[in-house]
Amino acid sequence: MSSQPLVPPFAVITGAQVAEVLTGSEKQVVEQVEEVYRLHGGGDTVNPPSYFLRFPDRPSSRIIALPASVGGEKATDGLKWISSFPENVAAGIPRASAVLILNDHATGYPFACLESSIISASRTAASAALAADRLSRGSRPRRVGFIGTGLIARYIHHYLAATDWTFDQLGVHDLSDQHARSFAGYLGEHAGDAPVTVHATAEELIKESDLVVFATVAGSPHVHDPSWFAHNPLVLNVSLRDLAPEILLASTNILDDVEHCLKADTSPHLTEQLTGNQDFIDGTLYDVLEGRVDLPDDRPVVFSPFGLGVLDIALGRYVHDQLRDAGRLGVVDGFFHELDRYGRTNAK
């Protein structure tokens, strides 16, 4: 007689637990992200389009569903459910909140619900740190500038520092002078001896930086002049909509996933619409990891990551397994109640 698959216990994992597991594990997280990019590039993932819930009475807000499945040694399915409510910032709370559901690969039963804003920020920052390392031509850039100064910018700086980046100078620009100066204060406490400058304009910051990080909530391009990038910096286009097509057409363009990036009026999508082709795309980060792409020195390099749900699933599984192995999972007893097809309470 074949054994029946077991229904897994269901655990709830708090943000405090997520932060405890991930803090100090940044290098391992970057390794996890690289592994998932390789799985994705090799076809061992399922990452369908994101689904957007929008509201006629709240046009600036949205909630996004990212279903995904990761193969490999710890195959896991799941869903990230992440909201973006920009008005939260004025109330003093973060713009984004999220939960992550992990499903058992064998039975389909969910086995964990995790607070996921930290997971989402960590996978975004780890992806950015990995890309910055692998897309650096020669030595790593030491003049780094951040356009946009929220949670994602903070996490990207943290992951760069935690993966042994060193800085000669740091620049900050934000439409809100208060937010820019608050972030500059944070950097001043965590940047060692590197001077921190608040720049009045994006142009000023870009021209003074060899690594430029865009982490804004911009809905359409606001950077149009290719001459600002004449010094050929590395650009992490994390927020995806800051750069006009003319910037991308003058750059080497690396994406995390071509199909996903060419949607929703991202900068690559606008460039495709303008040109009618994808010739401006030089490859994916997986192609770079596999050594299939040459990165010329005479053009800026722009990395545009749409953000893949498979990264969230894999990182959530990593957090779950670390807590499980430490005996610290908060299991909800009796979460699944109807476990017999015919309602027999003592069925064997």
Contacts of 188 (CB under 8 A, 6+ apart): 196
Same domain, 204 and 84: no
The tally of domains found in the chain comes to 2
Q: What's the pLDDT tens digit per position in 256-298? A: 999 999 998 999 999 999 999 999 999 999 999 999 999 999 9
Residue 29 included in any domain = yes
- Asked whether the predicted pLDDT for residue 2 surpasses 70, the reply is no
Residue 332 included in any domain = no
Residue 87 included in any domain = yes
Asked whether 187 and 157 are in contact (CB, 8 A), the reply is: yes
Asked whether 246 and 221 are in contact (CB, 8 A), the reply is: no
Same domain, 206 and 275: yes
Same domain, 106 and 143: no
3-state secondary structure 261-315: HCCCCCHHHHHHHHHCCCCCEEEEHHHHHCCCCCCCCCCCEEEECCCCHHHHHHH
Residue in the structure block whose two tokens are 């939960």 = 99
Residue 94 included in any domain = yes
Q: What's the pLDDT tens digit per position in 202-225? A: 999 999 999 999 999 898 999 999
Same domain, 263 and 134: yes
Same domain, 269 and 189: yes
CATH of the domain at 100: 3.30.1780.10
Burial 64-101 (b: 16+ CB within 10 A, else e): bebbbbbbeeebbbbbbbbbbbeeeeeeeeebbbbbbb
Q: What's the pLDDT tens digit per position in 64-83? A: 999 999 999 999 999 999 99
Same domain, 315 and 263: no
> CA–CA separation, 136 vs 144, rounded Å?
13
Q: What's the pLDDT tens digit per position in 28-56? A: 999 999 999 999 999 999 999 999 999 99
> CA–CA separation, 346 vs 348, rounded Å?
6
Residue 185 included in any domain = yes
- Angle, alpha carbons 283-142-213 (nearest 5°): 50
Same domain, 145 and 270: yes
Same domain, 132 and 280: yes
Residue 330 included in any domain = no
Strands (E), the chain: 11-13, 45-46, 51-54, 62-70, 76-84, 96-104, 110-115, 143-147, 169-173, 196-198, 211-214, 234-237, 252-255, 281-284, 301-304
Q: What's the pLDDT tens digit per position in 148-200? A: 999 999 999 999 999 999 999 999 999 999 999 999 999 999 867 899 999 99
What range defines the domain where residue 39 resides?
A: 11-119+309-325
How high does pLDDT run on average in the chain? 94
- Asked whether the predicted pLDDT for residue 4 surpasses 60, the reply is no
> CA–CA separation, 182 vs 174, rounded Å?
10
Same domain, 108 and 223: no
Same domain, 102 and 188: no
Residue 27 included in any domain = yes
The DSSP bridge partners found for residue 143 are 169
pLDDT at 235: 98
* 342: confidence class by pLDDT, cuts 50, 70, 90: confident
pLDDT at 1: 39
- Angle, alpha carbons 223-229-233 (nearest 5°): 115
Strand pairing class (169-173; 211-214): unpaired
Same domain, 84 and 173: no
Q: How far is CA 80 from CA 139, 174, 191, 241, in A?
A: 36, 28, 32, 22
Q: How far is CA 47 from CA 75, 152, 267, 282, in A?
A: 13, 22, 21, 22
Nearest Cα residue to 234 out of 205, 202, 210: 210
pLDDT at 161: 96
Percent of the chain whose pLDDT exceeds 90: 88
Same domain, 78 and 174: no
> CA–CA separation, 125 vs 27, rounded Å?
11
CATH of the domain at 205: 3.40.50.720
> What's the half-sphere exposure (Cβ side, CA atoms, 13 Å) at 34?
15
Residue 343 included in any domain = no
Strand pairing class (301-304; 45-46): unpaired
Nearest Cα residue to 140 out of 335, 312, 301, 337: 301
> CA–CA separation, 135 vs 285, rounded Å?
9
Strand pairing class (143-147; 234-237): unpaired
